Amino acid sequence: MSASEDCIQRIKQYRAFDEFPKNIQDALNYSNLGFSSKDIVYLHSLYVSGKKTAADIEIMIKKVDAFYTLFGPFYKGQITHLKIY
- 82 has pLDDT over 70: no
Of all residues in the chain, the percent with pLDDT exceeding 70 is 85
Q: How far is residue 62's CA from residue 57's CA, in Å, rounded to a whole number? A: 9
> Full-prediction pTM beyond 0.75?
yes
With H, G, I as helix, E, B as strand and everything else as coil, classify residue 14.
helix
**pLDDT for residue 84:** 61
The interaxial angle of helices 37-49 and 54-71, nearest 10 deg, is: 150
Burial category of 58 from C-beta neighbours within 10 Å (exposed 0-12, middle 13-18, buried 19 and up):
buried
Give the residue extent of every domain in the chain.
Answer: 3-75
Task: Give me the mean pLDDT over the 6-20 stretch.
Answer: 90
pLDDT digits (tens, 9 = 90+) for 46-60: 999 999 999 999 999
